Structure 1
Amino acid sequence: MSILGRDLAVDLGAARTRIYIKRKGIVLDEPSAVLLDRRTGKVIAFGAEAVGDGRGETHWPVSGGLPADAELAQRLVRHFTRKVHWRPYARPRLVMALPGDSTPMARAALHDMAYEAQARDIVLVPQALAAALGAGLPSGDRSGQMIIDIGRHATRVAVLSGDMVVAHGSVPYGGRAMDRAIARLVEREHGLALDEFEAEAAKMRAGAAPRPADGEIVPVHARDPDTGRERVLALPVRLLCEVAAQPAGPIARIAEETVARCPAELAADLGERGAVLVGGGALLPGLGRRLREHLRMPVRPAERPLESVALGLGRCLDHLGLTGRLRSRLT
Structure 2
Amino acid sequence: MSLLGRDLAIDLGAAGTRIYAKGRGIVLDEPSVVLRDRRTGKVVGFGADAVTGAIGADGVDGADGVDGADGVDGETYWPISDGLPQDGELARRMIRHFLRKVHRHPFPRPRLVMAVPDEFTPIERVALRDAGFEAEARGILLVKHAIAAALGAGLPVRDGSGHMVVDIGRDATRVAVLSCGAVVAAGTVRGGGNAVTRAVARLVEDEHGLLADEREAEAAKLRATREPTGNVLIRGRDAGTGEERAVALPAARVREAAVQPVEHIVRAAEHTMERCPPELTADLGERGMVLVGGGALLPGLRRRLQEGLSMPVRRAERPTDSVALGLGRCVEDLGLIAKLRRR
- The TM-score normalised by the length of structure 1 is 0.93
Contact residue 266 and residue 305 of structure 2 kept, 8 A:
yes
How far apart are 1:266 and its partner, in Å? 0.5
Contact residue 9 and residue 94 of structure 1 kept, 8 A:
yes
Residue 216 of structure 2 is aligned with which of 180, 194, 198? Answer: 198
1:293 and 2:307 are equivalent in the alignment: yes
Residue 275 of structure 2 is aligned with which of 258, 261, 269? Answer: 261
The amino acid that maps onto 2:37 is D
How far apart are 1:221 and its partner, in Å? 3.3
User: 1:151 — aligned with what?
Assistant: 169
Show CA shifts across 1:19-69 (max 9, x none). Answer: 111222211111111111212222111111222343221111111000001
Contact residue 159 and residue 167 of structure 1 kept, 8 A:
yes
1:82 and 2:100 are equivalent in the alignment: yes
Contact residue 245 and residue 286 of structure 1 kept, 8 A:
no
Cα 1:108–1:221 shift into 2, 3 Å: same
How far apart are 1:139 and its partner, in Å? 3.8
How far apart are 1:217 and its partner, in Å? 2.3
Question: Quick one: distance in 2 between partners of 1:138 and 1:200?
Answer: 34
How far apart are 1:5 and its partner, in Å? 1.1
Show CA shifts across 1:175-225 (max 9, x none). Answer: 11110000111112222222212222222232234xx34xx2233333445
Question: Quick one: distance in 2 between partners of 1:292 and 1:102?
Answer: 29
1:115 and 2:115 are equivalent in the alignment: no
Higher mean C-alpha deviation, range 25-34 or range 227-236: 227-236
1:249 and 2:263 are equivalent in the alignment: yes
Question: Quick one: distance in 2 between partners of 1:226 and 1:310?
Answer: 46
User: 1:174 — aligned with what?
Assistant: 192
| Structure 1: 5+ residue stretches without partners | none
How far apart are 1:3 and its partner, in Å? 1.7
How far apart are 1:250 and its partner, in Å? 1.5
Question: Quick one: distance in 1 between partners of 2:243 and 2:136?
Answer: 47
The amino acid that maps onto 1:180 is R
How far apart are 1:79 and its partner, in Å? 0.3
Residue 109 of structure 2 is aligned with which of 79, 91, 109? Answer: 91
| Structure 2: 5+ residue stretches without partners | 56-61, 63-71
Question: Quick one: distance in 2 between partners of 1:31 and 1:39?
Answer: 23
Question: Quick one: distance in 1 between partners of 2:233 and 2:10?
Answer: 34
User: 2:6 — aligned with what?
Assistant: 6
Cα 1:223–1:23 shift into 2, 3 Å: farther
After the TM superposition, which segments of 4 or more aligned residues of structure 1 sit over 4 Å from their partners? Answer: 225-230
Contact residue 330 and residue 336 of structure 2 kept, 8 A:
yes
User: 2:31 — aligned with what?
Assistant: 31
Cα 1:186–1:142 shift into 2, 3 Å: same
Question: Quick one: distance in 1 between partners of 2:259 and 2:152?
Answer: 24
Question: Quick one: distance in 2 between partners of 1:271 and 1:324?
Answer: 30
Question: Quick one: distance in 1 between partners of 2:217 and 2:108?
Answer: 40
Question: Quick one: distance in 2 between partners of 1:233 and 1:136?
Answer: 42
Query: Match of 1:18, SS?
Result: strand
User: 2:69 — aligned with what?
Assistant: none
Contact residue 157 and residue 179 of structure 2 kept, 8 A:
no
Residue 288 of structure 2 is aligned with which of 270, 274, 277? Answer: 274
- The TM-score normalised by the length of structure 2 is 0.90
Contact residue 165 and residue 289 of structure 2 kept, 8 A:
yes
1:325 and 2:339 are equivalent in the alignment: yes
Higher mean C-alpha deviation, range 106-115 or range 306-315: 306-315
The amino acid that maps onto 1:172 is R
User: 1:217 — aligned with what?
Assistant: 231
Question: Quick one: distance in 1 between partners of 2:244 and 2:318?
Answer: 34
Identical pairs, percent: 65
Question: Quick one: distance in 2 between partners of 1:125 and 1:83?
Answer: 24
Residue 234 of structure 1 is aligned with which of 208, 233, 248? Answer: 248
Contact residue 242 and residue 287 of structure 1 kept, 8 A:
no
Residue 60 of structure 1 is aligned with which of 78, 103, 123? Answer: 78
How far apart are 1:229 and its partner, in Å? 5.0
User: 2:121 — aligned with what?
Assistant: 103
Contact residue 173 and residue 251 of structure 1 kept, 8 A:
no
